[in-house]
Amino acid sequence: MAAGSELAVLVACALLLAAACGGAPDDVPGLEVGYYEETCPEAESIVRAAVSEAVAEDAGVGAGLIRLLFHDCFVQGCDASVLLDPTASNQRPEKLGPPNINSLRGFEAIDAAKAAVEEACPGTVSCADIVAFAARDASYLLSGYRVDFAMPAGRLDGRRSNASDTVPSLPPASASFTDLVDNFARQGLDAEDMVVLSGAHSVGHARCSTFAAGRTAVDADADIDPSFARSLRRRCVRAENSTGDPTVSQDAVTPTELDSQYYRNVLKRRVLLASDAALLETPEAARMVRDSARAGGRWEQKFAKAMVKMAGIGVKKAGRHAEIRANCRVVNY
Choose among 70, 117, 165, 69: nearest CA to 325.
117
Contact 175, 31 (CB under 8 A): no
**To the nearest 10°, the Cα dihedral for 289, 295, 300, 306?**
-20
Contact 92, 7 (CB under 8 A): no
Give the separation between CA 199 and CA 221, rounded to whole angstroms: 22
Sign of the four-CA dihedral 317, 26, 125, 61: positive
Contact 87, 111 (CB under 8 A): no
Give the separation between CA 260 and CA 6, rounded to whole angstroms: 29
Contact 317, 34 (CB under 8 A): no
Give the separation between CA 194 and CA 279, rounded to whole angstroms: 9
User: How many beta carbons lie within 10 A of that of residue 12, not counting itself?
Assistant: 20
The H or E element that residue 205 is part of is strand 205-207
For residue 22, CA distances in Å to 54, 150, 171, 327 come to 22, 6, 31, 30
> Would strands 157-158 and 205-207 be described as parallel, antiparallel, or unpaired?
unpaired
Choose among 81, 75, 87: nearest CA to 110.
81
Active-site residue flag, 71: yes
The H or E element that residue 158 is part of is strand 157-158
C-alpha angle with apex 61: 163 to 276, nearest 5 degrees?
A: 70
List residues with catalytic annotation: 71
